[in-house]
Amino acid sequence: MSNNKYAVNERGYYGQFGGAYIPELLRANVDELRENYLKIINSEQFQKDYKRLLDNYVGRPTPLTKVENLSKRFGTNIYLKREDLTHTGAHKINNTIGQILIAKYMGKTRIIAETGAGQHGVATATVCALFGLECVVYMGALDIERQAPNVARMKMLGAKVVPAISGNQTLKDATNEAIRDWIANPYSFYLIGSVVGPHPYPDMVTRLQSIISKEIREQLTVETGNPNPNYVIACVGGGSNAAGAFYHYLNEENVKLVAVEASGLGVDSGETAATITIGDVGFIHGSKTMLMQDEDGQITEPYSISAGLDYPGVGPLHAHLAETGRAQFLSVTDQEALDAAKVLAQSEGIIPALESAHALAALEKIKFLKEDVVVVNLSGRGDKDMETYMKHFN
Ligand SMILES: *Cc1c(COP(=O)(O)O)cnc(C)c1O
């Protein structure tokens, strides 16, 4: 996929977005990864090891479930890609299992990660336990307080959770600490959790998540005789589950791609995470992309009821898909997501993650034809969100 307008170019750009805007001290580490990641991913041995882990540890392929009651409700044909049924309950494991394999092939002996809500931290700690590698997870001190169950999981899995005590004590501060560690310890591998960060991370994570659309194509072919649906819908925090669900459809222009951001209390409320709707061009986590910032260019604190969508930027691929119009970007409020979660639970017996509920809520905003085939990527399961659901439904 080199001669297409949605693939990353050699310098790490999607259109005007992407690149690697990093401190000089980090250059050697990022260059080493850039020079090796494609060779490794494309090698027969990696493909064999990765597939074996996906099949026997992660639990792939995940089902593509036709949800009949929801289909009736919206007068069309709706399928859910069931990433909620993976080991650990969300798509993040597709990426962490791939990156830890790459780390192993590169001879790295220690894994560094940063996490906000803790879900990427848990997915990283999980694969480190499996591979017997040392795992250090940086997390804002405030987030450590707010996300106690995930902190407990990481610790039980053997990871060291290090509080970041500078700044707002949230994700940005944890990222700074992780980068400082990587500069000091170049034998470590920095494992990023979404399609963000300097090149080659957005492309590497997209490729590792692209197993989602690879399976959708195969499953739809069996189900309908056509690998292409009319719509693929996914929520976007940093954008990794959406990138994976879109990947094999990027050049199929008749497949409509719908990316759903969290608008929190509303796009004009000041309490939002709808980056594409209200953000503009800037630099975050080492890449040029769309982000939410104030008049002085300071990154603003995002807000969403869903911790996984509570991110002030978006991966450079998504900024490009928005700018070119290849994907349609919608936004969904906290309340709309909560309502959609309840509808899925009570019509299909599936409790979705709050993030995934944002993708489901987009079904209300699109006018479908009776014969349309609509795939919603159900990025994760709702167990982790029960406290929030109970608060709102009682
Ligand atoms: C982390 C997470 C997301 C958001 O991350 P992306 O990189 O945008 O996919 C979405 N859904 C679930 C269940 C998550 O855990």
Read off the pLDDT of residues 198-230 as tens digits, 9 standing for 90 and up. Answer: 999 999 999 999 999 999 999 999 999 999 999
Ligand 1, CB cutoff 6 Å, lining residues: 90, 92, 119, 194, 235-241, 308-309, 353, 355-356, 379-380
* Ligand 1 center–CA 173 separation, angstroms: 20
Q: What residue's CA is closest to ligand 1, atom 2?
A: 308
pTM over cut 0.95: yes
Residue whose entry in the numeric block shows the structure tokens 């405030």: 142
Mean pLDDT by 10 residues, the chain (394 residues): 80 98 97 98 98 98 98 98 98 98 98 95 98 97 92 98 91 92 97 98 98 98 98 98 98 98 96 95 96 91 92 96 98 98 98 98 98 98 95 88
Tokens representing residue 147 in the block? 């996300």
pLDDT digits (tens, 9 = 90+) for 58-73: 999 999 999 999 999 9
Choose the residue to mutate in 94, 351, 379 for probing ligand 1, maximizing ligand atoms within 8 Å of C-beta.
379
Q: Rounded to whole angstroms, how far apart are CA atoms 120 and 245?
A: 18
Report d(CA 192, CA 187) in Å as an integer: 16
Domains of the chain: 14-54+92-205 (3.40.50.1100), 59-89+210-393 (3.40.50.1100)
What's the gap in Å between 354 CA and the centre of ligand 1?
10
Mean pLDDT of the residues in the chain: 96
CA distances (Å), 207 to each of 84, 198, 233, 365, in order? 20, 15, 18, 29
Peptide bond into 200 cis (omega under 30): yes
Please give the distance, rounded to the nearest whole angstrom, from the Cα atom of residue 24 to the centre of ligand 1. Answer: 30
